Amino acid sequence: MSLVKEINKRRTFGIISHPDAGKTTLTEKLLLFGGAIQEAGAVKSNKIKKGATSDFMEIERQRGISVATSVLAFNYRDKKINILDTPGHKDFAEDTFRTLTAVDSVIVVIDVAKGVEEQTEKLVQVCRMRNIPMIVFINKLDREGKDAFDLLDEVEQKLGLQVTPLSFPIGMGYDFKGIYNIWEKNINLFSGDSKKNIEETIAFDHVEDPELDQIIGAHAAGALRENLELVHGVYPEFDREAYLKGELQPVFFGSALNNFGVRELLDCFIEIAPFPRPKQSEERLVKPEEETFSGFVFKIHANMDPKHRDRLAFIKIVSGTFERNTPYLHVRHNKKLKFSSPNAFFAEKKEIVDISYAGDIVGLHDTGNFKIGDTLTEGEILNFKGIPSFSPEHFRYINNADPMKAKQLAKGIDQLMDEGVAQLFTLQLNGRKVIGTVGALQYEVIQYRLEHEYGAKCTYENFPVHKACWIEPDDPKSEEYTEFKRVKQKFLATDKQGQLVFLADSSFSIQMTQQKYPSVKLHFSSEY
Ligand code: G4P
């Protein structure tokens, strides 16, 4: 019984946004409410500032900070909240995609002036594919921005969501007066005092109350009434089941910087957001309240200190409890491992814990045993699904620049790929290695880390690939497939899992291939 109680207390989620929308600021205010930090400014922004793309110190600093902010946990009311960090920088999008496999829900932050931006679109698309419940927070209401209804339209159209506002702004920018909380039926007046942690609210049973005119002025009160009427007329009633299925997304308005509208968001969040959800493995559906432990690695972080080469593997606990000094089965290696100092995360600290529950994240010190997607269990053979690789955007040959260090280079490449820094493809024809990345920045990170952590040197050579397509033949023995492999042999490679990949040089070539070999399916992600 206590296991179920513990699990139901957990809310594990991610905040996603385009850089600069206010993710870091919102995270920090949430932590303030949880009493996990005492003052603003305690959470470091982990974003890479513009123009820093070739500044290695910046990259290294960045990696340090992102360990600290990988998981931020705090207690609020009787709930245990785990926020998983999702890098906003597009070059690290792959990292974010993987983190989304470990969250049970997300909050999407949108800048009221900029509206829906590119990175938000991509990340929301991934959440939609997985039916992850989403709450939208429209931020920076203290600034002039788009009309609230226009913005709701934009969110629906660009993100393909069905929204329903659970709060509504009264004015905006210079005229911003506050927020009507549809969920709690009260008004929160804006003071613009960012030092105030918790503002006063004024409750109304109905918006027709004449006192409202006195408080915010007749004009604003009239406009609010009209707007709320429109909200009720246009948007569906909030329905928790629909939200949990990913079919309806509640929207809140506020200003994270001013800590305004954040408490409302958090209070609603802990009430409606899902507790840990069952997860599909290749073998069966695994439920969080099962007594036996299972979990999977969704992130690996290398130690920056070259003297301590160990890494931290982040495990999402899917079921049961994870206990210190207990042997668990590493399914891929088929061997039992024990962990004497598993880390749990609290605010911006990590500490050793004896027991963690489904929904929690533990950080395990690793000397190279883990790679992303690995499963740990109490003995059962389980392989969790849903950590796909997407086609990289950039492709380059990697060459050894120091013949004496071939071994170090191979080891370095191997470990960096296990961490998920980039993807490795090996050409079938000649065994040459090709590195695929989401952003050009990763090539510099890899080169730098190979040299500083493994003592190996590399150079790159352009390889003009448009997309990596994972190949699925209807019949592996068919003549058509044999013919395909013969004609395309120059463009065939294997990924790290040994899956066959077609490295297409143009979208035209993909089209032609699909026409010519209809029984050979091409996929843009490794899981289909
Ligand atoms: P990110 O993590 O999503 O990239 O965004 P972050 O929280 O770092 O916020 C980006 C910028 O937007 C910051 O300003 C932050 O202070 C500002 N901001 C966040 N929320 C609000 C809000 O509600 N209203 C207003 N007006 N601004 C907001 P910056 O100048 O880029 O950084 P900083 O020097 O203040 O740290």
CA torsion 128→245→289→107, rounded to 10°? Answer: 50
Which pLDDT belongs to residue 388? 74
Mean pLDDT, residues 370-382: 93
Q: Which residues contact 31 (CB under 8 A, 6 or more apart)?
A: 37, 42, 43, 72, 74, 347
Mean pLDDT, residues 404-411: 94
Closest Cα to atom 36, ligand 1: which residue?
Answer: 45
User: pLDDT band for position 54 (50/70/90)?
Assistant: very low
Closest Cα to atom 15, ligand 1: which residue?
Answer: 22
Mean pLDDT, residues 194-202: 62
Q: Are 282 and 385 in contact (CB under 8 A)?
A: yes
Ligand 1 atom nearest the C-alpha of 46 is 2
SS (H, E, C) 398-413: EEECCHHHHHHHHHHH
Q: What is the pTM of this model?
A: 0.87
Q: Are 341 and 310 in contact (CB under 8 A)?
A: no
Where along the chain do its domains lie? 15-67+104-272, 279-377, 394-523
Q: Are 161 and 246 in contact (CB under 8 A)?
A: no
In the chain, the percentage of residues whose pLDDT exceeds 90 is: 62
pLDDT digits (tens, 9 = 90+) for 334-369: 999 999 999 888 776 778 889 999 999 999 998 888
User: What's the whole-number average pLDDT of the chain?
Assistant: 88
pLDDT digits (tens, 9 = 90+) for 249-301: 999 999 999 888 998 999 999 999 999 999 999 999 999 999 999 999 999 88
Three-state secondary-structure class, residue 336: strand
Q: Which residue has the higher pLDDT, 163 or 48?
A: 163
SS (H, E, C) 359-423: CCEEEEEECCCCCCCCEEECCCCCCECCCCCECCCEEEEEEECCHHHHHHHHHHHHHHHHHCCCE
Handedness of CA 186, 189, 190, 196 (dihedral sign): negative
Give residue 479 CA to ligand 1 midpoint distance, Å: 58
**CATH annotation of 394-523:** 3.30.70.3280
Q: Which residue has the higher pLDDT, 81 or 188?
A: 81
Which pLDDT belongs to residue 201? 74
CATH topology of domain 15-67+104-272: Rossmann fold (3.40.50)
Give residue 345 CA to ligand 1 midpoint distance, Å: 25
Give residue 194 CA to ligand 1 midpoint distance, Å: 13
Q: What Cα–Cα distance (Å) separates residue 428 from each residue in 388, 418, 486, 501? A: 22, 21, 11, 10
Ligand 1 atom nearest the C-alpha of 47 is 4
17 in a known ligand binding site: yes
Q: Alpha helices of 41-141 — where are they, by DSSP H?
A: 56-68, 93-99, 118-129
Q: Say if the ipTM goes beyond 0.95.
A: yes
Ligand 1 atom nearest the C-alpha of 27 is 7
Closest Cα to atom 31, ligand 1: which residue?
Answer: 20
Which pLDDT belongs to residue 158? 96
Q: Are 364 and 350 in contact (CB under 8 A)?
A: no
User: pLDDT band for position 462 (50/70/90)?
Assistant: very high
**CATH annotation of 279-377:** 2.40.30.10
Mean pLDDT, residues 129-154: 95
User: pLDDT band for position 191 (50/70/90)?
Assistant: confident
Which pLDDT belongs to residue 434? 97
pLDDT digits (tens, 9 = 90+) for 475-487: 999 999 999 999 9
Which pLDDT belongs to residue 90? 74
Residue 40 has pLDDT above 60, yes or no: no
Q: Are 309 and 362 in contact (CB under 8 A)?
A: no
